[in-house]
Amino acid sequence: MSIIKDFLLQLTLLIIPIFIYFTFILEKVKNDRNITVIMTMLWGISILLCMSFPVNFGDGARLDIRFIPLLLGTLYLGFWPGILLSILIILYRLSFGMSPGFYNTVLVIVLSLPIILYFQKSFIRSNKDKRGGIAAGLSFYYCVLGLTLFGIIKGFSSENLEVQLLHLTFTVAVTLFCIVLIEKIREIHQLRSDIQNSEKLRVISELTGVFAHEIRNPMQVTRGFLQLLDDPDLPPKKKEYINVSIEELDRANEIIDDFLAFGKPSGNDRGKVNAGDQVERVANLIQSFSLNHQVEIKTDIVDDCWIDANPQKINQSLINIMKNAVESMPNGGIVWVTCGPTADGSIRISIKDQGVGMTKQQIDRLGNPYYSLKEKGTGLGMMVSFQIIRSFKGEIIVNSEKGAGTEFIILLPQAMH
């Protein structure tokens, strides 16, 4: 019973950093690097606490769940946090003196960390169910490895084996519990963020219909008079002022078009559409625009990619995303556009560029009102694109790395033709 109490204490020491992060830090810290540093420190504190209050058994043997903070820190944060947490474990264990337990700790980490790092990218790309399976499998591997090495170094005994098996069961169970807890809290946080964005979008939608047309009418009149004032005999400076004014009015008019597109309900004007044909059509439409930016568009489109959608709206979404892909490459490059079915019954449209790329923080804000990476952008075009895809029960996945380009993946339910 005493051993179980000690393991439950270990669980408490492990959970504290998770709640500290999601309760006090997540809402206040937005920079990815700062989040990584803070979480590495919290997992490090958790490791120190777990190692300071171990489960003692047998002839001076010690057990704890230090591996779980190391595992979670490496899987969620990446290579360097994993290395730093591993070094912390080794150095702190060394402070207890050179012993068979120290050699066991070093061997287990040396043999475990490369395996964790190997699965780290797969873990990040997986859904929450698969993440639990990956983490539990790694925990099982670590515990079996530790049990085997401990037996080789100190010898096997029935008492030690019983405690080690309890440690294995507890570690795997707590790992699964932590993954479920973290994913559930992240899901709640994302849901709250989506609700806040939905409220902003609702306000925009309500205001759009009321003001857009009233604003556009005087703008059109102003534009007309500016064109009348553009006399050939005007001084060059005044002609430049008139042209700039007309360009800015046109830009404002484009913003109003985006507002109207967002505020207008999608309705039920949809039918069976070959997504491949629409992708090909949009790629051809944007060809001249891309050539002006020294960008080449390459396509790989499979026939019979049928979806249930409105072709005009799908085109509008694709044009926005392809245009952004072209504009993200100031020095030219290639945009790869593909369309084809997936094994799970979806149609997958991919638009991949060689542009400047985005950070994770920038990706998370894509599609939010008024957020744009362009100097004079409003973010409305991307917001409309996200709304259109969602209205057809699809989703947009963005994969990007700063300086290495961006890939927009559009997944839409496949329709039988």
Tell me the per-residue pLDDT of 258-277, one tens digit each, with 9 for 90 and over. Answer: 666 655 545 556 789 999 99
Q: What is the pLDDT of residue 151?
A: 81
What is the Cα gyration radius of the chain? 28
Candidates 7, 124, 143, 10; CA nearest to 72 is: 124
Q: State whether residue 407 is helix, strand or coil.
A: strand
Q: Closest Cα to residue 337, out of 302, 299, 303?
A: 299
Q: What is the pLDDT of residues 311-327, one digit of tens each?
A: 888 988 998 899 989 98
44-53, 55-64, 120-129, 209-218, range with greatest mean pLDDT: 44-53
**What one-character DSSP code corresponds to residue 379?**
S
Q: What is the secondary structure of 230-270 as a DSSP string?
A: --TTS-HHHHHHHHHHHHHHHHHHHHHHHHHHHHS--TT--
Please state the rounded mean pLDDT for residues 26-40.
80
Torsion angles phi and psi, residue 97, rounded to 5 = 110, 155
Tell me which residue has tokens 């026939």: 303
Band of pLDDT at residue 98, cut at 50, 70 and 90: confident
Strand, helix or coil at 8?
helix
Q: What is the mean pLDDT of the chain?
A: 84
* 89 pLDDT above the threshold of 80: yes
pLDDT at 28 over 70: yes
Q: What percentage of the chain has pLDDT greater than the value 90? A: 37
Q: Which pair of structure tokens corresponds to residue 143? A: 């515990």
Q: Which residues of 259-281 are buried (b: 16+ CB within 10 A; e: fewer)?
A: bebbbeeeeeebeebbbbebbee
What burial class does residue 217 get, using C-beta atoms within 10 Å of its C-beta: 0-12 exposed, 13-18 middle, 19+ buried?
exposed
At 163, is the pLDDT very low, low, confident or very high (cuts 50, 70, 90)? Answer: confident
Ordered DSSP codes for 313-373: HHHHHHHHHHHHHHHT-TT-EEEEEEEEE-TTSEEEEEEE--S----HHHHHHTTSTT--S
How confident is residue 349, by pLDDT bands cut at 50, 70 and 90?
very high
Q: Kindly report the CATH number that applies to the domain delimited by 271-413.
A: 3.30.565.10
Coil/strand/helix, residue 127: coil
Which of 270, 283, 267 is CA-nearest to residue 412? 270
Q: What is the pLDDT of residue 368?
A: 67
Residue with tokens 């474990």: 89
Query: Which backbone phi and psi does 270 adopt, to 5 degrees?
Result: -135, 165
pLDDT (tens digit per residue) in 77-87? 999 999 999 99
Span 196-222, average pLDDT: 71
**C-alpha of 334 from chain center:** 24
pTM above 0.95, yes or no: no
Q: Report the pLDDT value the prediction gives residue 210, as an integer from 0 to 100.
A: 63
Q: What is the CATH number of domain 2-194?
A: 1.10.1760.20
